[in-house]
Each structure stands twice: as C-alpha cells, then as structure tokens.
Amino acid sequence: LKSVNESVENPFLYWDNNVIGSLNLLKIMNKFDCRTIVFSSSATIYSANSKKCITEDFTINPTNPYGHTKASVEYMLNDIFNISKDKWSVANLRYFNPIGAHKSGLIGENPLDKPNNLFPNICRVAQGIYEKLNIYGNDWETNDGTCIRDYIHVMDLADAHLSALRYLSNNKKQIIDINIGTGKGTSVLELVSRFCLVNNCKVPFVFCERRSGDISCVVADNNKAINTLNWVPGRSLDEMCEDGWRWQINNQNCYF
C-alpha cells in the first residue's frame, strides 16, 4: 500500500499489509532457501526537505506511517542479512515517483478506488472522469509554491529492477540501498502544464490545504544506481505524460 494520506488516516492497515506481509514473505523465502530479493522501498523514508538531491546516506526519518513501514522493512532486511551474510542478497530500491505506462498502451495503472497519487488523478481529470484536480498547497518553499518531486517513467523503473537482479546474481552476497529516480525535480504545476501541452488537453485544478505527511521537495541523487547497476533512466517527462495518457484513453472501461 502506497498512499501517504491514507497511511495517516489508517496506520493499522499499512503496518499490517506492508510490514507483517513482508515478514511473512521473508519467513517463507528463508524456509525454502530463496534468499535473493529486490525490495520496493521508497524515498519517503528520508527525513525531510532538502535543497540538495538526496543520496542514500541521508538520514532515515520518515514523516508519515507509509514511510515508517518502508523503513521498518529495510531494518528487518538488514537484521536478517546480518545474521546470515553468506546467504542473503538484498537490494533496497528507493523509488521516487514512478508515473506513465507501457508504451503500447496495453499495461498501465488503474487504481480500484479513487487514486491517491497525482498522475492517475491528472489522467482522470483530463478524461472528464473527475471535474477538477486538487493540488495540495500553493505556499510551499518552491518556485511556484507547489511540491517538487522526481518523476520517473515506470518502464525505467522496471529496467532498474532487472539491473538490480542481475547485479545481485553476479556479485557476492550483500545488502545494498539504491535510489531510483532521474535526478530532476518537477513541480506539480509543471507536471500538469507539461501533460496538457504534450497531450493537447485540459486539466482544471484548484488549490487545497496541505495534506498531513507531505513535504515540499524530494529529488534523487541517482549516481549510485548509474555507477553500480549500469542503469540510466532514458525516458523523458514528455514520454511519461504521453504513455500514461495513451493507457488512459485506450482503456476507458479499464481492467479489474
């Protein structure tokens, strides 16, 4: 589960699913001698705002329950690795903000309930499913007052998983933490503007109060991923917007 806002409202759900679920998985992996894992972690584990790109050695101090659950699984993996360093291979991939869809338009994101993430909401407003987009705060310490995030194409993220798995398979047993992002920050307003421009559509929006647990700026330093995994994010923000919109308009009835 991956919604900051929902985790604030229902931490029981997040601790049960994200932490207890991960513990159960790791116990079964250990039982059957399956001890290589690429863990989907998150940039939300980092401490707070920074005007610098975030490196993997930044302080771990999440500001919301979702981040707490991701950090907890990382701690769990470290403890498990430390008691059997000759058995486990672990890569904690700290995602920044994956968006977009497969270029074919056949595979994309379809939240079962109202989306909590920005990009699916942009797509649904552009399609007319929702009347307007809610932007949470226009008084953040950024150039246009809206939050800045590091958006990465979901297919670049998929490539990073394959690179991480190859790395773990070809090297000694270890645990490694790696940021997966582009190293470029984009504000909410900039993303909305770019989406409208490349897809020739409109996305009406209104400003709302800030959400609990949000922070103003989160951008990756991805040098470790580039140098260690031999991986480079190759898809642009325009491609993220185009591919995500292609999925949305080609799957108006969606798949459940």
Report the amino acid identity of residue 29.
M
Structure tokens at 44: 């939300």
**Phi-psi bin for 111: left (phi > 0), alpha (psi -120 to 50), beta?**
beta
**Residue from 251, 188, 175 nearest 218 by CA:** 188
HSE-up (13 A, CA, CB side) for residue 206:
5
Q: Under a CB-based contact definition with an 8 Å cutoff, are residues 60 and 47 in contact?
A: yes
| Beta bridge partners of residue 40, listed in sequence order | 93
Q: Give the three-state DSSP class for 168.
A: helix
β-strand pairing of 148-149 with 97-99:
unpaired
Query: Could you give the CA distance from residue 239 to residue 174 in angstroms, rounded to a whole number?
Result: 35
Distances in Å between the alpha carbon of 150 and those of 28, 36, 97, 225, 232?
Answer: 34, 28, 6, 15, 14
Query: Could you give the CA distance from residue 246 to residue 135 in angstroms, rounded to a whole number?
Result: 23
- Kindly list the catalytic residues: 66
HSE-up (13 A, CA, CB side) for residue 76:
19
